[in-house]
């Protein structure tokens, strides 16, 4: 079914000026950008977004990294968009990501892995609502 997912191009990628290359891979993979904005998160915003990870050992560093520079928030739409986006991104750890995936191509390490994507349709809905007003999404 047609679905929406939340995508984030992370600070390691905006820093290297490769957002266009990443967006091209998402579009070539069959997804459509139906909302997009470049922002810099406050610590509070990053903490809220990654709240599910708050008890994990990497949480504090992750929040510091995600607030270290600009990010690009996107809503992607397409057939099975959540799963499709995860295929296009590859595994969380770039060292384990399959050839031709965004993280294999551009990820530097498990933290600086260039992109985030929602991990389930339920979380996609929550993450989209957290990042965008309905009026900003134009399908
Ligand atoms: P992301 O999809 O944004 O979701 C949580 C992020 O935490 C993950 O990508 C990684 O960038 C980061 N992270 C850092 N260390 C780890 C780890 N050991 N396991 C999972 N995620 C990690």
Q: What is the largest CA-CA distance in the chain?
A: 38
What gap in Å lies between CA 112 and CA 15, rounded to an integer? 11
* Residue 113 marked ligand-binding: yes
* Residue 21 marked ligand-binding: no
Task: Record the pTM.
Answer: 0.98
- Using a 6 Å cutoff on CB, does residue 111 contact ligand 1? yes
Cα-flanking dihedrals φ and ψ of residue 114, to 5°? 70, -35
116 is catalytic: yes
Residue of 13, 14, 89, 116 marked active site: 116
Q: How much is the CA Rg of the chain, to the nearest whole Å?
A: 14
Residue-wise pLDDT tens digits, 35-56? 999 999 999 999 999 999 999 9
Strand, coil or helix: 84? helix
What gap in Å lies between CA 16 and CA 106, rounded to an integer? 10
ipTM for the complex shown: 0.96
């Amino acid at each position: 079914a047609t679905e929406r997912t939340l995508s984030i191009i992370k600070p390691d990628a905006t820093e290297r000026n490769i957002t266009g290359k990443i967006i091209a891979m998402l579009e070539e993979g069959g997804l459509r950008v139906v909302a997009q904005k470049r922002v810099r998160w406050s610590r509070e915003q990053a903490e809220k977004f990654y709240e599910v990870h708050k008890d994990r050992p990497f949480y504090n560093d992750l929040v510091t990294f995600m607030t270290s520079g600009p990010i690009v928030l996107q809503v992607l739409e397409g057939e099975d968009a959540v799963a499709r986006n995860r295929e296009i991104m590859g595994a969380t750890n770039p060292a384990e990501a399959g050839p031709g995936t965004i993280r294999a191509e551009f990820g530097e390490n498990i933290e600086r892995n260039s992109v985030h994507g929602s991990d389930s349709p339920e979380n996609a809905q929550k993450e989209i609502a957290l990042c965008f007003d309905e009026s900003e999404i134009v399908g």
